């Protein structure tokens, strides 16, 4: 189960991982906490005036299409309001995910966990990856719900279900450095401001990264899923424009294992290590 803040976060952070899990017959679930209605609209054919009022429903359809492409088994929306970027007045708006009492959000996510019964939960670190309030809130809700699911709390939300592993998605510093070098060699600007990886707020120190998934086999589906988020992702998105060998560098998806109730040997290349033996035994 992948717990995300907005439509498109699932593809950007872990689209390849989700596609490859699907290839193996693993059931996957994407939970999207907010409606993403405050995001910048980048598509030329989507004028602000006519698109903004319908953006929540447009992004819901985009997420469903991306998940269909990635072979995700089910998509669920928690329906909280997008809070906007950090420091915006919209953070405090009624219905904004940021101001939602955390217990309300944890309860509904626990309900999804006890119904879907995931062995593994994937979400963001405490900085939400890059400091967006909805990502930080998603981190808190996912972390608390992962523990609450296996506890006697929320008895109305179904029988307790113990989750075996919790991961945070990660973009390692060394990974950014390598992409930056590849891009420079190809005569291109390093993407996402990576010319100085040490200054980027969304990178994870390498020593915290436990898991590296080789998702190169999923690049075409990853790109198609990015394009499905048409309102958000233009053709100038780095993974859609950079040369093949640079995109290949992007196609490793990294994680930080935070909780494990099964035996693992780190580093690892698969978020399911230890799970099969546990369920068989």
Q: Which parts of the chain fold into alpha helices (H)?
A: 9-23, 48-51, 55-69, 102-116, 133-149, 173-185, 219-228, 238-241, 244-250, 275-280
CB of 225 to Zn ion, least distance (A): 15
**In 112-171, at which residue ranges do the beta strands (DSSP E only) sit?**
120-123, 165-170
The interface mask with Zn ion, positions 3-32, x = CB under 5 A, is --xx--x-----------------------
Of 128 and 274, the one with the shorter C-beta distance to Zn ion is 128
CB of 264 to Zn ion, least distance (A): 28
Q: Of 2-10, 64-72, 97-105, 161-169, which segment contacts Zn ion by CB under 5 A?
A: 2-10
CB of 257 to Zn ion, least distance (A): 22
Of 4 and 119, the one with the shorter C-beta distance to Zn ion is 4
Q: Which residue is nearest to Zn ion (CB)?
A: 6
User: What pairs with residue 2 in β-bridges?
Assistant: 30, 122
Of 169 and 180, the one with the shorter C-beta distance to Zn ion is 169
CB of 135 to Zn ion, least distance (A): 6
For 264, the token pair is 């693992």
Cβ-proximal residues to 47 (8 Å cutoff; 6+ apart), any chain: none
Q: Is the peptide bond before 144 cis (omega within 30 degrees of 0)?
A: no
Of 21 and 38, the one with the shorter C-beta distance to Zn ion is 38
Contact residues: Zn ion, CB under 5 A: 5-6, 9
């Amino acid at each position: 189960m992948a717990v995300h803040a907005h439509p498109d976060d699932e593809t950007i952070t872990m689209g390849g991982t989700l596609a490859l899990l699907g290839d193996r017959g693993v059931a996957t679930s994407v939970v999207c906490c907010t409606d993403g209605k405050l995001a910048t609209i980048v598509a030329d054919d989507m004028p602000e005036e006519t698109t903004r009022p319908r953006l929540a429903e447009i992004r819901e359809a985009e997420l469903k299409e991306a998940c269909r492409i990635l072979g995700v088994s089910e998509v669920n929306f928690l329906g909280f309001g997008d809070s906007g970027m950090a420091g915006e007045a919209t953070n405090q708006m009624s219905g904004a995910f940021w101001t939602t009492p955390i217990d309300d959000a944890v309860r509904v996510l626990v309900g999804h966990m006890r119904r879907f019964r995931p062995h593994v939960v994937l979400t963001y670190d405490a900085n939400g990856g890059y400091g967006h309030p909805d990502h930080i809130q998603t981190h808190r809700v996912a972390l608390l719900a992962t523990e609450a699911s296996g506890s006697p709390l929320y008895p109305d939300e179904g029988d307790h279900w113990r989750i075996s592993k919790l991961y945070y998605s990660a973009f390692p510093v060394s990974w950014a450095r390598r992409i930056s070098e590849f891009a420079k060699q190809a005569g291109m600007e390093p993407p996402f401001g990576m010319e100085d990886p040490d200054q980027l707020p969304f990178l994870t120190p390498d020593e915290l990264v436990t898991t590296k998934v080789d998702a190169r086999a999923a690049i075409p589906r990853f790109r198609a899923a990015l394009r499905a988020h048409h309102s958000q992702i233009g053709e100038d998105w780095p993974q859609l424009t950079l040369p093949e060998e640079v995109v290949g560098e992007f196609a490793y998806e990294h994680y930080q294992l935070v909780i494990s109730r099964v035996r693992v040997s780190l580093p690892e290349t698969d978020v399911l290590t230890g799970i099969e033996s546990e369920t068989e035994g």
